[in-house]
Amino acid sequence: MVTFLGNSSDSIDADVIVVGLGAMGSQTLWRLAERGVDAIGIEQFTPGHDRGASHGESRIIRSAYAEGASYVPLVKEAWQLWRELEEVSGAHLLEQTGALMVGPADSPVIAGPLASARAWDLKYQLLETAELREAFPQYVPADGLMGFYEEDAGYLRPEASVTAAVEAARVRGAEVLRESGVTAILPDPVRPRVRLGDRELTARHVVVAAGGWLPGLLPATARLMHVERRVMGWFRVADPAAFEARRFPVFVHSDASGDHNLYGFPTLDGETVKVGLHTWPGIDEVIDPADGHRPPDQADAQRFAEAVDRTFVGVDPQPVRMESCMYSLTPDRHFLVGPRADLPGLTLLAGFSGHGFKFATVIGEIAAQFAVTGKSALPVEKFDPHRFDRR
């Protein structure tokens, strides 16, 4: 059992309350419970649901990080914790397939991972245009494209990851409140409180992992992020064997500017591949999570048809199904992780900007460290929620 210094356990409902049990909150609850911390996790829907940002069958995990070399130690730690969660839960969550980044030499998807791989001495392989064409005939052989391949990459199963973490936490003593919407969070340095309608729960610390709903709960955070809709599509392949993981690893494909950036997965069902548009003209529709995801429509299907047609050989450009999801984007596309002086007693986990899932285990560990000790031993300076105050 962890001892919290400084205040007695009189009049508290738990040492730590976690608000939101999506990717980040579920892992936080597990890491707290692993330490023996008395914790309550609260989710407005049922964990593993499809109304937030953590659904849709698959999420990429890669190590040579395009978004910055400083993420590499975090992804290494995350990877180990994913394996640990698999072990304690018995669930199969992570599939190592390797990853192929495709783009011009000066595109963010080639230059970014190359810089990370060089900084951390990671194993990789660069493929010139002719080599790429020969090894991966599933891509349209456009001139000037090259490939960056790394073995230490693959995909995670998001819904199963959330439910496995919640269950692992529950088995270790955490309390889980499902279908329970938090209506207010009241910051306080000693006794922060969480309101559920007319009921109030008190803790020593509150971790707020409410995803896109954060600004609605804590209006002071509204400047730190905004929420955009994103759509995933599934497409039938002519030759499923050519799109199995050993021949068609997870991928990111970009133009030089990064304005046309799509990603995807090998076939998981032996019939279709899943593709998502990370950046693409016309997709940046700002939404309010309280209204829910706007369902996919004909404009989404048309955009996908264009993207798939110009990128792949042997993939039917008409989606067989589509699903909406949401990105919580910060101005610099780096995460918001840690406390804020104007929100005492809270740790914020938000703004994962469309690339957070792979880190969920290590973010949960970092949040548990903040909740218990007020600081983290892992490198999180880059994610300081105060960093936009200076601008």
Which parts of this chain interact with ligand FAD (CB under 6 A)? 19-25, 42-45, 52-54, 56, 59-60, 181-182, 209-211, 213, 217, 230, 232, 276, 325-327, 352, 354-358
Instruction: Of 382, 377, 374, give the one whose Cα is nearest residue 341.
Output: 374
SS3 366: helix
SS3 72: helix
Q: How far is the CB of 152 from ligand FAD (least distance, A)?
A: 14
Q: Residue 146 or 156: which CB sits closer to ligand FAD?
A: 156
Please, which residues have CB within 8 angstroms of residue 67's CB and are 6 or more apart in sequence?
Answer: 112, 333, 334, 355
Q: How far is the CB of 61 from ligand FAD (least distance, A)?
A: 6
Q: Residue 2 or 331: which CB sits closer to ligand FAD?
A: 331
- Tokens read off for 75: 């992804």
Q: Residue 60 or 146: which CB sits closer to ligand FAD?
A: 60
Q: Residue 127 or 232: which CB sits closer to ligand FAD?
A: 232
What is the dihedral sign for C-alpha 340, 341, 343, 347? Answer: positive
Q: How far is the CB of 80 from ligand FAD (least distance, A)?
A: 16
Distance between CA atoms of residues 70 and 377, nearest Å: 15
Q: How far is the CB of 379 from ligand FAD (least distance, A)?
A: 18
Instruction: Of 102, 108, 152, 109, give the one whose Cα is nearest residue 127.
Output: 102
Q: How far is the CB of 181 from ligand FAD (least distance, A)?
A: 5
Instruction: Of 361, 81, 335, 306, give the one whose Cα is nearest residue 225.
Output: 335
Q: Residue 53 or 117: which CB sits closer to ligand FAD?
A: 53
Q: Residue 106 or 267: which CB sits closer to ligand FAD?
A: 267
Taking the CB of residue 201, how many other CB atoms lie within 10 A of it?
18
CA distances from 91 to 28, 159, 161, 239, 318 (A): 18, 11, 8, 30, 33
Q: Residue 171 or 184: which CB sits closer to ligand FAD?
A: 184
Find tokens 């891509």 and name the residue: 139
Q: How far is the CB of 128 from ligand FAD (least distance, A)?
A: 26
Q: Which residue is nearest to ligand FAD (CB)?
A: 22
Sheet with 59-61, edge to edge strand ranges? 59-61, 154-156, 94-96
Q: How far is the CB of 140 from ligand FAD (least distance, A)?
A: 22
